[in-house]
Amino acid sequence: MKKFLVVVVLITLGCAEKGPEFERYQLEKAFFKAQKIVQKIYINPRIAPITDFEKAKRLLLKVAFAYDSIGLRPDTSLMCYSLLTLAQLEILQENPQNAIEYYNLYLRNTNNHENPNEISARINLGFLYERILAYQDAAKEYAHVLDKLMDEINPNSPKPYLIAIPFQYARIYKYDLGNGSYKAAVTRASKVYQDMLQRWPNSKAALLALNYVSLIMLQNKDYSRLQQILDEQLQITQDTTILARLQFLQAKIMLAQHVDPATVIRQLQRIITNYPDSEIIAAVKLELAKAYLQQQRFEKTRLILKDILNNYLENFIVAAEAQEQLALSFELEGRWDQALNEYRWLSKQFETSLQGLTAPLKIANYYLQQNNIALADQAFNEAIEFYQELVRKYPSSILAAMAQEQISKCFMAQRKYEEAIGAVKKIKEIWSNSAGVISTYLLLGKIYEASNQYSLAARAYKEIATQFPQHPLAPLFDEKARQLLN
């Protein structure tokens, strides 16, 4: 009898080992094993062995898609975390299409369940769609997020990427002027930011929201509405950081509306006096210098710009522009030799800034406009060497791609069209994503047009419209190609 009981127990255990619960246990083991590998990858994804990526993905795929085959009710959390992790691994490996597929699978599998990661997944999807220039799909994801965004934000410790979503949503529609969608998108995005300002007037979230709503309205020249928002906020705001920003934005509205520079100068000077320790003082001083430059008060302009360069060098963006304005002040005064020294210093000291990047070409174009061909050729050669050095120093970066674009512009200005075409084609090699591809075709189209090769120009523009049909300018490129062929 005892032997019979032992046999029954062993048979039962054997069946359990092969049953659904055992399979669930095996999947949980696979998931946690994958997570250990993933944590190792996250330490330094760039040097992580490809075998680690492959092994982690195999284990996660097993977890994500095994439930149907073993007849178990899915463990939603385990399955969904596996899909989210798969998406992250694909992003690390620069596979945006695969990441998009996993995020969409995640959202489909959590449709009827509590989904704490929906907002994050949709935002990531939006970023990925933008990355492959699928703007309409990106806009749809951001639209899903907008109604729930306020619930995701901690007003005193906001995540900047969350506050940026309404701005990105509106920006996608910037060139879609045909059916009023841009106006509707701007209205919706602005409303989200105004809600943040009303709900949290003295918070860090309000400060970020203020920056974005002002950027949207300044771009659209909606000055009266922006001034109304600023006036409303001045009534309810006590935070000095935000007050300084509000007054600075008022000055920017004046500048945009070409108000008398003396009035703008008084407004900017008040901010400097009332908020000397504000983080925006460097930017305020830069605008003050520009206002004086508009009045052609060159010495006063340079005094302020040198103060910025001496005391706010850590503010790289403002300092780079201050150096550019310093060079421009000498140029406008007719002192080119001094301007030349300042432009050269700009390219040396701030080579990774937009201002530093464009300075060598600006020098060459100056000589070209003066019809000094010998000095222009020398300057173009020096500019090309500068840009080639940037490509060597920062390979496979957006800066390298931009430098390569500047090389093509140097050749174009000299009407060396074959060299310009060769330079443009290297952009796609440096920056192989969608933005690099579209930049290549756009520049090729311009060069072919300039050299009267209209059929090749049409082909380049048509390629943009064909490969990236969701790009907001795709219809315009398509029409341009048609016109060039007629």
pLDDT of amino acid 435: 74
Flag whether 48 is in a domain: yes
The number of residues in the chain equals 486
Alpha helices in 295-335 (DSSP H): 298-311, 316-332
Residues 25-31: contacts with CB under 8 Å, at least 24 apart: 27/62, 27/63, 27/66, 27/67, 27/75, 27/78, 28/75, 28/78, 30/59, 30/62, 30/63, 31/59, 31/60, 31/63, 31/78, 31/81, 31/82
pLDDT of amino acid 80: 85
Instruction: Say which range, 131-145, 176-190, 257-271, has the weakest mean pLDDT.
Output: 176-190
* Contacting residues for 118 by C-beta, under 8 A, at least 6 apart: 107, 110, 148
Q: pLDDT digits over 389-415, tens only?
A: 999 999 988 999 999 999 999 999 999
Q: Is residue 5 scored above 50 in pLDDT?
A: no
Q: pLDDT digits over 434-449, tens only?
A: 777 888 889 999 999 9
Q: How confident is the model at residue 15 (pLDDT cuts 50, 70, 90)?
A: very low
Flag whether 56 is in a domain: yes
Q: Is residue 425 scored above 70 in pLDDT?
A: yes
CA distances (Å), origin 209, targets 82, 169, 212, 354, 436: 34, 14, 5, 26, 31
CATH number of the domain where residue 416 is located: 1.25.40.10
**Percent of the chain at pLDDT exceeding 70:** 92
Q: pLDDT digits over 324-374, tens only?
A: 999 999 999 999 999 999 999 999 999 999 999 999 999 999 999 999 999
Average pLDDT value for the chain: 89
Q: How confident is the model at residue 173 (pLDDT cuts 50, 70, 90)?
A: confident
Q: Is residue 27 scored above 90 in pLDDT?
A: no
Flag whether 382 is in a domain: yes
* Residue that wins the pLDDT comparison between 24 and 32: 32
pLDDT of amino acid 306: 97
Q: CA-CA distance, 38 to 56, in Å (whole number)? A: 7
Q: Which of 110, 144, 169 is the last residue of a domain?
A: 110
Q: CA-CA distance, 113 to 115, in Å (whole number)? A: 6
Which backbone phi and psi does 311 adopt, to 5 degrees?
-115, -10
Flag whether 211 is in a domain: no
Q: Is residue 456 scored above 80 in pLDDT?
A: yes
Flag whether 405 is in a domain: yes
Flag whether 296 is in a domain: no
Q: Give the number of domains in the chain.
A: 2
SS3 assignment, position 179: coil
Flag whether 322 is in a domain: no
Q: CA-CA distance, 86 to 105, in Å (whole number)? A: 11
Q: Is residue 100 scored above 70 in pLDDT?
A: yes
Q: CA-CA distance, 483 to 446, in Å (whole number)? A: 14
Task: For CA atoms 442, 443, 446, 449, give the dihedral sign.
Answer: negative
Q: Is residue 52 scored above 90 in pLDDT?
A: yes
Q: Is residue 75 scored above 70 in pLDDT?
A: no
Q: Give the domain range for residue 407.
A: 376-486
Instruction: Say which range, 82-91, 109-118, 155-164, 322-331, has the weakest mean pLDDT.
Output: 109-118
Flag whether 444 is in a domain: yes
Tokens 């178990």 belong to which residue? 72
Q: Which of 110, 137, 168 is the last residue of a domain?
A: 110
Q: pLDDT digits over 109-149, tens only?
A: 876 556 778 899 999 999 999 888 888 899 999 999 998 99
Instruction: Say which range, 268-282, 362-376, 462-476, has the weakest mean pLDDT.
Output: 462-476
* Residue that wins the pLDDT comparison between 428 and 235: 235
Structure-block tokens of residue 80: 């969904």
Q: Which of 94, 110, 126 is the last residue of a domain?
A: 110
Task: For CA atoms 346, 347, 353, 354, give the dihedral sign.
Answer: positive
Q: CA-CA distance, 449 to 248, in Å (whole number)? A: 43
Q: CA-CA distance, 299 to 303, in Å (whole number)? A: 6
H/E stretch holding 118 reads helix 118-131
Q: Is residue 74 scored above 60 in pLDDT?
A: no
Q: CA-CA distance, 403 to 439, in Å (whole number)? A: 13
